[in-house]
Amino acid sequence: MIEWVHPGLIFILGALLIPVLKGRWKKIYLLLLPIAALIDLLYMSTSRGVFWRIPLLGYELVFGRVDQLSLVFGYVFTIAAFCMTLYALHVKEDGHHVSAFLYVGSTLGVVFAGDLFTLYLFWEVMAFSSLFLIWYRKTKASSEAGFRYIMVHIFGGICLLAGIILHVQNTGSIAFNSFNWGTGWGYLPSYLIFLGFLINAAVPPLHAWLADAYPEATITGAVFLTAFTTKSAIYVLIRGFSGVEILIWLGAIMAVYGVIYAVLENDIRRLLAYHIISQVGYMVCGVGIGTWMAIDGSIAHAFCHILYKALLFMGAGVVIEMTGRSKFTELGGLYKYKYMPLTFWLYMIGAFSISGFPLFNGFVSKTMVVEASAMADLPIVWLLLEGASIGTFLHTGLKVPYLTWFGRRDKDKEPVVEPVKEPPKNMFVAMGITAFLCVFIGVYPQALYGILPYPADYNPYAASHIIAMSQLLLFTFVAFWLLRGMLHGTPTITLDTDWFYRVLGKKFIWFCEKPLISFADSIDEKVRRIADSFVWFSKNPPVASRIMMLTVSTVFLRPFNPNPLYTRYANDLEELRKLYPAEVHRLAIGSGVLLVLMFFTLYLIIYLTYGVLWV
């Protein structure tokens, strides 16, 4: 007997009531839904197995696969949804709340999906509901970025669907388990599904949608976006492709890639978005290593990342909300204003967490993946991951706060950006709760390790870990302080792989519209002429053929002019052309019947003699 309902359903059906409620009741309702889902999850955790099985066309859809892996992701998504809803409580548009709840609900649908059809269904709902969190910003940039975002996700969805269909055709099963892996055409279904997953995980070169779209989303919508799409992709990668070696390298490169781009960014949220890519790199790498500790590390890092990245985006959101600006070249010196020290310190808790300072949650999860790479004897991966840690602290922990709250503005005596709006209080309460969770997990990691699917025999607070991490981060600060002059924002954008569809794509469309269409038009014209000549010919075939013969003859005879034959032909031709199609010679109806009879007779002869006179 099932005593619980699907937690995704609580969000999805719950979202429908939001527009009906008003004022205070709506706010209470918004906060109660995630809490209800969390309580529901706790009930679920007492029973393991497969629930909510619905037969469909000879297949069995599984909406509720409950095991430790899906539960961990379920917990963190629900907890994050609560904090984020609290952060977004002041938002007036109902549609914004509805799309956020559909987004959360469909992500939970993905997490508990036990078969590929259910997975695909929620996968698509996730893409489309999240789109509205971008479009609600209602600017030209957000509308365009939203279109690009959904195009990429539709492409990913199609890859996934194609892979699923081929997979079902090959194996006859729609169960969502580990996929076959190897090289060769036989693994095409796995490759296509893999590609669909990689797009959502924002693995370079398929990552540009993230850094393109997230910074254009609404202030509260961006906070939601940071958590669900990429981390649910990590979840499905763990389910389907754990231990696939290429993920190790993709992940390690991804971790550094995000860091390099973060140096060049001038937009506060785009910088943080590149750090999502970098952090997800650790998780992808962990999935690729595939040992118990690496998988546990990936899950733990996803858990912690959702919390601190939400906190960072919340902090950046408060700055944008208050100043209306998001570029480093337009920010600076905010620390002395009301609410800003509070924002700064809450942001810094997120920054210390993402950088992996001891006593913050990033430390207890990131080091797990790094340690797993050491245990799997991957020195280059280890160096890349540690290098990404340096870059993370450099940007999120040093560059962003320096250029936003302090910066050169005082020295240059330029007018400081004054906050123009008072931020809603609920934003700070949400940040406070998220910050508390970051520190809590950092101080008491057993709370997190206890719910991981594999027995995590890992002690983050070994002396050597603490010392190595402290050295790494402290000396990063030294280098930052020496080179801080180089880190000021410049009013530029940075080209990324979205260039291919934003510039080359546009050129391709131009090519289709101009040269290709005119080429097609000329072909069209030629074909039409040929068709016309057939029409002309069929109006009176005997006369038409005579005209053609006469034309050819005159062409041949012209060089021997004057010539009586030529003159005669030319005159005939002129006359025939003038009269054409002239009077058509018609047959009596009887001749038509005769033709039909002859045809049938021929058929009869063949029919009767087949097998007798000939074979």
Partner 1 sequence: MGIKLEQKHLFGILYVCLAASILADVLVNFHGQAEAQAHTAFLWQTIPGFSAIYGFVGCVLIIVVSKALGHLWLQREEDYYEKH
**Binding test (CB under 8 A) with partner 1, winner from 40, 115, 321, 371:** 371
The amino acid that residue 20 corresponds to is V
Instruction: Please state at what angle helix 23-44 crosses helix 68-87, rounded to 10 degrees.
Output: 170
- Distance separating alpha carbons of residues 171 and 150, to the nearest angstrom: 31
411 binds partner 1 (CB under 8 A): no
CB of 412 to partner 1, least distance (A): 16
With respect to partner 1, which residue has the nearer C-beta, 466 or 557? Answer: 466
**Stretches 23-31, 241-249, 376-384, 424-432: which one binds partner 1 (CB under 8 A)?**
376-384
CB of 285 to partner 1, least distance (A): 16
- Distance separating alpha carbons of residues 74 and 235, to the nearest angstrom: 10
Sequence-separated (6 or more) residues with CB below 8 Å from residue 97 = 15, 18, 30, 85, 88, 91
- Distance separating alpha carbons of residues 174 and 109, to the nearest angstrom: 16
**Binding test (CB under 8 A) with partner 1, winner from 49, 55, 182, 491:** 491
Which tokens in the block code for residue 553?
A: 């003859």
- Burial (0-12, 13-18, 19+ Cβ within 10 Å), 579: exposed
Contact characters 498-527, partner 1, x per CB under 8 A: ----xx--x---------------------
Does residue 199 contact residue 152 with C-beta atoms inside 8 Å? Answer: yes
Looking up tokens 């003859």 gives 553
DSSP state of 407: S
Query: Largest alpha-carbon pair distance within the chain?
Result: 116
488 binds partner 1 (CB under 8 A): no
Sequence-separated (6 or more) residues with CB below 8 Å from residue 28 = none
**Binding test (CB under 8 A) with partner 1, winner from 58, 182, 379, 590:** 379
394 binds partner 1 (CB under 8 A): yes
178 binds partner 1 (CB under 8 A): no
DSSP element (H, E) containing 142: helix 140-171
- Distance separating alpha carbons of residues 376 and 281, to the nearest angstrom: 17
483 binds partner 1 (CB under 8 A): yes
**Binding test (CB under 8 A) with partner 1, winner from 192, 307, 334, 473:** 473
With respect to partner 1, which residue has the nearer C-beta, 122 or 357? Answer: 357
- Distance separating alpha carbons of residues 615 and 612, to the nearest angstrom: 7
CB of 434 to partner 1, least distance (A): 27
DSSP state of 67: S
CB of 164 to partner 1, least distance (A): 34
Residues near partner 1 (CB under 8 A), total: 48
Contact characters 229-268, partner 1, x per CB under 8 A: ------------------------------xxx-xx----
CB of 341 to partner 1, least distance (A): 14
With respect to partner 1, which residue has the nearer C-beta, 119 or 456? Answer: 456
**Stretches 123-131, 182-190, 388-396, 586-594: which one binds partner 1 (CB under 8 A)?**
388-396
**Binding test (CB under 8 A) with partner 1, winner from 469, 543, 547, 550:** 469
471 binds partner 1 (CB under 8 A): yes
- Distance separating alpha carbons of residues 209 and 148, to the nearest angstrom: 7
Three-class SS state of 62: strand
CB of 399 to partner 1, least distance (A): 10
468 binds partner 1 (CB under 8 A): yes
CB of 348 to partner 1, least distance (A): 14
- Distance separating alpha carbons of residues 8 and 78, to the nearest angstrom: 9
With respect to partner 1, which residue has the nearer C-beta, 314 or 390? Answer: 390
CB of 497 to partner 1, least distance (A): 11
Phi, psi of 464 (to 5 degrees): -65, -35
CB of 395 to partner 1, least distance (A): 9
With respect to partner 1, which residue has the nearer C-beta, 50 or 468? Answer: 468
| DSSP string for 213-254 | HGGGS-HHHHHHHHHHHHHHHHHHHHHHHTT-THHHHHHHHH
Q: Where do contacts with partner 1 occur on this chain (CB under 8 A)? A: 259-261, 263-264, 371, 374-375, 377, 379, 382-383, 386-387, 390-391, 394, 462-465, 467-480, 483, 486-487, 490-496, 502-503, 506
